[in-house]
Amino acid sequence: MRHLPLICGLTASALTLATSAGAAQWNLATPYGDASFHTQNTQAFAEDVAEATDGELTINVHSGGSLISHAEIKPSVRRGTVQAGEIFLSTLSNESPIYEVDTLPGLATSYEDAFDLWQASKPIITELFADEGLMPLYAVAWPAQGIYTDFELTDASQFEGLRVRAPNINTQRFVENLDGIPTQTEEADIPTAFSTGRVDAMITSVSTGNSMAAWDYVSHYSDAKLWLPKNIVFVNQREFDRLDEATQQAVLDAAAEAERRGWEMSREDGTESSEALESHGVSVSEPSETLQADLNAAGDTLFEAWQARAGDQAEALIESYRERQSQ
């Protein structure tokens, strides 16, 4: 049974009965705020579904972690507490090394390569989700990740003892390979983490830097293009199966459009956010040759360790990815 709030004087039970006899409603939880292009894309996805189904399926998007915290979104969708969710895919890396693949430094550093990597990993990720009664709908990349500091970063020795915000396990390992101190901080807590001294630097995209007003606490952005991580939107398989065939197809069509639109929005947001950083006085530059070599070395160590952990699945995934790159 769906647990829904009081609406127009109806009890949750009465509304559930009315919904089951006619239109369906999904709740979709996302940790990202309304200003994020990811959330805007997810809202557009929900609107497309409502329009295509003439209101037979309504998806209520709950942004900014207002319904469920980031860490609880996937378990909640799995249990059916909410019908759908959006998460930062690499936060699942403790469940399988495959979820780490889009945060391996140097593996995919352009949108073209990142999309090929998603296509190569999608069958495995879909199978992993299916094992938990979940179905991916679409995934969208963030702009490439770079390094924010309050000083000019010229070589890797400057990472020693530096407290660096690291939102996933691979970023943590990468920072450790550079002798830094990884610190886990949710996006919404970034300003507080800097102001209280819990964080000295961060590895993230220009989009996050722009939305979090990074110019208030850093002065430099090194556009290292380390990796392009993704958000993934997914649904409880049982909830999807309850829909009639026409509504299911409408959801899938809207999801395909959301993926296409989302990647384009990411490109546009990356350009606009970089310009915004510079307009607020943040120095945006590419790494020096020395720094890039150090970053590459740290990334190579990370990739080798990942291959050893992921085994045959990793080998097959990388082989598929390289084939796509060569086409």
What is the pLDDT, as a whole number, of residue 89? 96
Q: What's the chain's average pLDDT?
A: 91
In whole angstroms, give the CA distance from residue 327 to residue 321: 10
What is the pLDDT, as a whole number, of residue 185? 84
Q: Cα 222 from chain centroid?
A: 21
Q: At 96, which amino acid appears?
A: S
Residue 20, pLDDT > 70, answer no
Residue 6, pLDDT > 70, answer no
* Per-domain residue ranges of the chain: 12-93+132-142+229-273, 145-227+280-326
The secondary structure of 195-247, three-state, reads HCCCCCEEEEEHHHHHHCCHHHCCCEEECCCCCCCEEEEEEEHHHHHCCCHHH
DSSP secondary structure letters along 1-50: ------BTTB-HHHHHHHHHHS-EEEEEE-SS-TTSHHHHHHHHHHHHHH
What is the pLDDT averaged over residues 230-241? 98
What is the pLDDT averaged over residues 58-67? 96
**Per CATH, is 145-227+280-326 categorized as 3.40.50.2300?**
no
In whole angstroms, give the CA distance from residue 205 to residue 167: 12
Domain range 12-93+132-142+229-273, CATH class: alpha beta
Residue 5, pLDDT > 80, answer no
What is the pLDDT, as a whole number, of residue 169? 87
What is the pLDDT, as a whole number, of residue 22? 67
What is the pLDDT averaged over residues 37-60? 98
Q: How confident is the model at residue 18 (pLDDT cuts 50, 70, 90)?
A: very low
147-181 pLDDT tens trace: 999 999 999 999 999 999 988 888 999 999 999 99
Of 213 and 14, more confident: 213
Q: How confident is the model at residue 1 (pLDDT cuts 50, 70, 90)?
A: very low
User: What's the DSSP call for residue 163?
Assistant: E
Residue 274, pLDDT > 50, answer yes
What is the pLDDT, as a whole number, of residue 167? 81
Retrieve residue 155's tokens.
Answer: 């070589």
What is the pLDDT averaged over residues 11-26? 55
CA angle centred on 167, ends 278 and 87, rounded to 5°: 100
Give the HSE-up count for residue 16: Cα atoms under 13 Å, Cβ half-sphere: 8
- Encode burial over 198-235: b for 16+ CB neighbours within 10 A, e otherwise: ebbbbbbbbbbbbbbebbebbebbbbbbbbbbbbbbbb
* Residue 77 · residue 134 · CB < 8 Å: yes
Q: Cα 270 from chain centroid?
A: 15
Q: How confident is the model at residue 189 (pLDDT cuts 50, 70, 90)?
A: confident
Q: How confident is the model at residue 107 (pLDDT cuts 50, 70, 90)?
A: very high
Same fold, 12-93+132-142+229-273 and 145-227+280-326: yes
DSSP secondary structure letters along 68-117: S-HHHHHHHHHHTSSSEEEEEGGGGTTT-GGGGGGGSTTT--SHHHHHHH
Q: Cα 60 from chain centroid?
A: 20
User: What's the DSSP call for residue 297?
Assistant: H
Retrieve residue 299's tokens.
Answer: 């990334």
Count helices and strands in the chain by DSSP H and E runs: 10, 11
Q: Lowest mean pLDDT of 3-7, 235-239, 306-310, name the range.
A: 3-7
Residue 198, pLDDT > 60, answer yes
Residue 36, pLDDT > 60, answer yes
What is the pLDDT averaged over residues 204-222? 94
What is the pLDDT, as a whole number, of residue 23? 86
Residue 187, pLDDT > 90, answer no
* Residue 184 · residue 242 · CB < 8 Å: no
Residue 271, pLDDT > 80, answer yes
* Residue 7 · residue 15 · CB < 8 Å: yes
